[in-house]
Amino acid sequence: MKVDAGANFIITQLFFDVETFERFVQDCRAAGISVPIIPGIMPIQSYQSIHRVAELSQLVIPDSILQTLEPIKHDDEAVRKFGIFQAVEMCRRLLDHKTAPSIHLYTMNREGSCREILMALGLWQKEPIRSLPWIPHGGHHPLRCKEDVRPIYWTARPKSYIFRTKVRVFLKLQYQTTFRKNFR
């Protein structure tokens, strides 16, 4: 349905069994869906969170993973390390067998594990490919002389930029004055 509406790719819900993803891809191809299908991988962060996520998403956790987690369920660091190991193994299998064109990592606001996964897969670079996310101009270029570095949408709305800056300063001063009055 979304592909018919113009979607260029699919990112799956998280899963813990590569065979499940492979069956999903086969079913999609049999139904005539030809867009890239990117697997959604979520590293296990803690014993409690994985059960909560599985319950909310109606996900079945394989018995092999549950059996491995059971003896270490009270050791958060051991669970996290197992989650990284398990995610790396899944990603390697998906990428090595060309089952997936790439991977999507669900961070759940805990990006440390994802960084470790990317490092283990050899996909993490310490140095950025480009030094700046924009095309750098020389110091005498007219664009460079006219604009300082700030969010793009503020360049077209200078009054908004000034207002936001003034409001921040005002709120900070207001907070400091109130704090001094009430708590000293």
pTM of the model: 0.67
Q: What are the tens digits of pLDDT across the range 79-105?
A: 999 999 999 999 999 999 888 999 999
Q: What are the tens digits of pLDDT across the range 40-64?
A: 999 999 999 999 999 998 998 999 9
Provide the CA 31 distance to its chain's centre, in angstroms: 29
Supply φ then ψ for residue 10, to 5 degrees.
-125, 135
Run of H or E including 37: strand 37-41
161: helix, coil or strand?
helix
Overall CATH class of domain 10-120: alpha beta
